[in-house]
Structure 1
Amino acid sequence: MEYSRQVQVFGILVFELLSEALGLKSDYLESMDCAKGQQILSHYYRPCPQPQLTMGIKFEKLISNDIFKSVQHRVLANRHKSSRVSVECFFTLGLHPTTKVYGPVKELLSKDNSPVYRETSLKEFVTYYHNKGFDENSALSHFKLQHVAEIST
């Protein structure tokens, strides 16, 4: 429980820094409930004799209107002879019922910086994310506005 509390404190600090980096008041992202939900996962990886045969997996990008970039990553299979454990923490409202709609922060938009993504509810985003399956395409591309998709192709 103490670990979770400390991660929460750290997360609030990170959201304050991200808010300031966007030119917003330091409590902006926290006031949007970005630090409200927390999910801590841990994984146990046994040694894998053929790690090259395994596969791995991949809302800041949406609300920052592509100012912040999400890192695509995957977990590599354990090549070592001993087991390893990883612990991840995600700030997510996915487990909290909310009817809030999220989209690019209005204060970041202008004539020269039009929205890249449409607004969406957390429920719609999470449902799409879980139903799309794992591939190399980001779930976020589904929420890109049409005029932006046409320009980039």
Structure 2
Amino acid sequence: MPAEEKAQYYSDDLSKPFLLNSSTTYDKGETRYWRDYLRLVCYPIEEVIDAWPEKPENFRAVLSEYTLQVRELSSKLLKLIAQGLGLDKDYFGGDFSTGKTQMNINHYPPCPDPSLTMGLMPHCDRHLITLLAQGTVSGLQARYMEGWINVEPIPNAFVINFGHQLEIITNGLLKSVEHRAVTNSAIARTSIATLIIPKTDCLIAPAKELLNENNPPKYKEFIFSEFIKAYSAASASREDVLEFFKLN
């Protein structure tokens, strides 16, 4: 779309169900972030569709269909994860996964000097799981020991990131994944991250079925909205945020 048409959607108000923004300076100004993104709430569809743009004219129809398909996939994955843990297959249904699904469509233009920028800062996702369609261009990296490894794109596949809530509910058995996005000088990269989020008033705690005398609870019980407040006040690293909710 022409820049003048896109400009009406530009906003810093993260409470809006749809906005366009560009990352600028984070981390006390030490690093520049090279990204344009659409941030939108995409579920429940009937509650948010009127806030989506009407242009391009097929945007709402395509986004609605994609949202339903990716949520169905997330439901299947969560059932498999639950069964693999020995939990009821519907354990992660209900409040754990029926909050307002968020989608971030990230665009990383070619950068003249990638050594001066990042696409996204190192972070762990604060929700349950993320389904990432990262296209065909490399740029995603995951923390491994003291360094970073490339997560190369696989055609027609999603990258599934475990978030903080899944780590807490499994009492640390499944770890949230620290990751980042890097830039390159040759080709643009676009990715679509769909965030499966608990309801704001959802009670989060280690699953009782996974606890015993050899595996006592490592985390406190809390309401998801309390976690969001702590996450916003922290550096978004897994250690900083999760430490706040650990039992002494």
TM range (shorter): 0.7 to 0.9
Q: Does 1:8 align with 2:58?
A: no
Paired with 2:73 and 2:203, the residues of 1 have a C-alpha distance of 25
How far is 1:89 from its partner?
0.7
What letter corresponds to residue 113 of structure 1 in structure 2?
N
- Which residue pairs with 1:65 in the alignment? 171
SS at match of 1:27: coil
More off after superposition, 10-19 vs 100-109: 100-109
Aligned to 1:39: 102
Map Cα deviations across residues 73-110 of structure 1 (whole Å, 9 max, x no partner).
01112x142322111011013xx442x32110111111
Q: 1: distance between equivalents of 2:234 and 2:204?
A: 20
The answer to which structure has the higher helix fraction is 1
TM (norm. structure 2) is 0.53
2:188 corresponds in structure 1 to 83
- The letter for the 2-side match of 1:12 is S
Change (3 A) 1:15 1:135: closer
Larger fraction in strand: 2
% identical equivalent positions: 33
Structure 1's unaligned 5+ residue stretches are 147-153
Question: Alignment length, in residue pairs?
Answer: 141
CA shift in 2, pair 1:127/1:21, >3 Å: same
Letter in 1 for 2:71: Q
Matching of residues 74-113 of structure 1 within 5 Å: 74-77=180-183, 79-93=184-198, 96-98=199-201, 100-113=202-215
- CA distance in structure 2 between the aligned counterparts of 1:73 and 1:97, rounded to whole angstroms: 24
2:89 paired with 1:26:
yes
* Counterpart Cα distance in 2 of 1:122 and 1:141: 16
**Contact 2:178–2:237 (CA<8 Å) still a contact in 1?**
no
Q: Aligned equivalents of 1:12 and 1:114: distance in 2?
A: 28
Unaligned runs of 5+ in 2: 1-63, 124-164
- The alpha-carbon distance between structure 1 residues 21 and 136, as it changes in their structure 2 partners (threshold 3 A), is closer
